[in-house]
Structure 1
Amino acid sequence: MPLDYPIHERTLPNGLRVVVSPDHTVPTATVNIWVGVGSRHEEVGHTGFAHLFEHLMFQGSRQVGNGEHFALLHAEGARLNATTWFDRTNYFETVPTGALELALWLEADRHGHLLDAVTQESLDTQRDVVKEEKRQRYDNQPYGNALTDVYAAVFPEGHPYHHPTIGSMEDLDAASLEDVHDFFRRFYAPDNTVLTVCGDVEPDEAFALVEKHFGDLGGRAEGVREVLPQVPPLDGPVRVERREAVPNDRLHVGFRLPVDGTDELLAASMALDCLAGLASSRLVRRLVRREQTAVGAHAAAWGFVDGVSLGFVVVDVAPGADAEAVEAAICEELVRLASDGPTDAELEASIAQSERSWLGALAGQEERADLLSRYALLRGDPHVVNTHLDRLRAVTAEGVAEAAGRWLAPEHRAVVAYLVREDAREEAVA
């Protein structure tokens, strides 16, 4: 039976795209806003700005004091947060239905009038907060900078996905107040934004409330370029090696993949499932269970829109095992998958896992709102939430083998190897 979540759409005269999906099962509503600005929109020398604004957006606006956004909504029993990624920044809150208008008023004030409150003091404060976040999440965590190394190895210098979302602390230190204001004015505009309301509300009521609070917001996004053409696979292996005080050797094997929304990306994602994305995947069976040269393996495919996506396999090498031999085994399995294709059981398991994950996400009001915003902003079609599984089920074993051969061949890999530093290994033994 096909999915049939109700989806209503409207675009305001100022360009704001509004999506409403009524769901009266519980008396709550989720407001989910995706702004078309992420780290891929940043320029060389000005990285980290998109993530910085995720923090600044909670520090007050024209009619809201510092910290009041959280305080007012928490007083209503709300749950709220924000995140930044390569292709977007999102803001979201789930509130009792009676607090929906409060949530929309707060969002409209900061999305339309944030700069009234972005002073040198607030900029300096949030710069320090971001620096501390980087120290905690990246610099002082084992393997904390591994994905940053993967991005730099897989994507060419100057490409929008070459640098991480956290950005450069040197760039943030050099940013002036005017630099920050200019960035907001360029990207935070109604015509670069999708607002989704999902929950216990009628469409006409939700549209009227959004129009009331967002309808008079002006401004147009500036300099939002067309996406880049598809980037081909790497033309030869790339290797980055780090020796650090990590618990065990870990291999990150990255690949360029087709852009999001393509059938070929779905096929490549299933190929990665067969390799290491399932409990019964090939690398788990071979390296973890049979040869016991690894203690864990997983894989993922991240769909991006700006000319390329990212796929990667991560393998934790077992103590005493040879990381080079493990890498060679990974390459053997890549070749074998492209040559033989997935078995019927592997294809069925991959589809089943993807279906379970998709349906689980849609079952939650917050996750459904997020997916509606995602596909409205990045694909121009929120109805993808109802049609995605049909495309997933149409992927064939032949398609998976072809995608593996084209995108996941060993010669197209970028390996980021985090290896135990010898003095750290000796300390662990002692």
Structure 2
Amino acid sequence: MRITMIGTGYVGLVSGACFSDFGHDVICVDKDVRKIEALEKGVMPIYEPGLDALVESNVRAGRLSFTTDLAPAVADADAVFIAVGTPSRRGDGHADLSYVFAATREIAAAVTKPTVIVTKSTVPVGTGDEVERILREVQPDITTYVVSNPEFLREGAAIEDFKRPDRIVVGTDEEAARAVMQEIYRPLYLNQAPLLFTGRRTSELIKYAANAFLATKITFINEMADLCEMVGADVKDVSRGIGLDNRIGSKFLHAGPGYGGSCFPKDTLALLKTAEDFQSPVRIVEAVVQVNDARKRAMGRKVIKAMGGDARGKTVAVLGLTFKPNTDDMRDAPAIAVIQALQDAGAVVRAYDPEGVEQARPLLSNVDFVANAYEAADGADALVIVTEWDEFRALDLKRLAGILTSPILVDLRNIYPPEEVSRAGLSYHGIGRASVA
């Protein structure tokens, strides 16, 4: 199949590379000339494990290419995927669909034959209807089929998720479009990936409902962690105890500093706005958003409390800046709110992250970015683990105890057993469990 991917951001680039790896001919289109030039040289605009090698091998094989010229790429395509950004709109929190609609108008002007137009971007319910209206308005003489095909990729594991998905959701009532989508995803049949066909509006809502539910699980266990601290229970055991129930499941039940990233914050907010528009409020999701927003800054206060309640003039070492490991994504990362709370209390912050420093620089001022965990800890009054990168899982605790001015470890991801930290000479402060001096 001939596939054109509009947008070379996280979703577009990963999807385009994976489709080409299936054997399809893929052209990725982007208006950013520098980004396209970099991709042609093998330089990735994002950090995603294995993506550079996947792109390089498929470019070399002639199945994957990049261009800024949309019209010829669309004219010859069997399917055109729209994978542009839909950030939260300033002022009201609605998803900003201006990029989707602008791409639709350009596609409509460029199609030369019956074509399937696939919305891969995360969009509110009813967006496909407007995309269809624009296509018919701009190009009434050529048949186009508008399909919803939401992505369910986890940053840091996106290639694996694309190639071995839990499910593939396709929203269309058109048989011709269904046949094209079946052919595009046919290589995944060997993995027995369920191909779920629904109505277009249903497909659009599935994406938001899935992310809102996962955000709810995270927020629920975080509130249970707070309760555990008050009653003397251990949230890791609570999480395991409820997660072993097949009706609940163990995933997304790890207590921490709150969710961030490119999806959960904007998607829960967009779902709230959609619910308001249709006068069908989703009170649970409202609470999830409010609790999560408050939690991030509360983690800064937790660090200050571990330091005796006074951070003024003290140095805090922060390990991990990105919202999760194996990505360089700083969007709504909990570390931002934690660091700002510490700075507001008068602390000096020294930070290290394996991949996210360059993305963090414009977002965080007056932070001393260093080259490794031990440089961050040297002479600091407390060490805080915010993101659970693998290299933070087996730190030399005795060495840390020796180089910290005050031997305080605040583990916001519950990586370490408290007793192990205590034996090394550090006081331990985790999430939802007892502190150990």
**TM-score when normalising by structure 1:** 0.26
More strand by share: 1
**TM-score when normalising by structure 2:** 0.26
Q: Which has the higher contact order (CA 8 A, sep 6+)?
A: 1
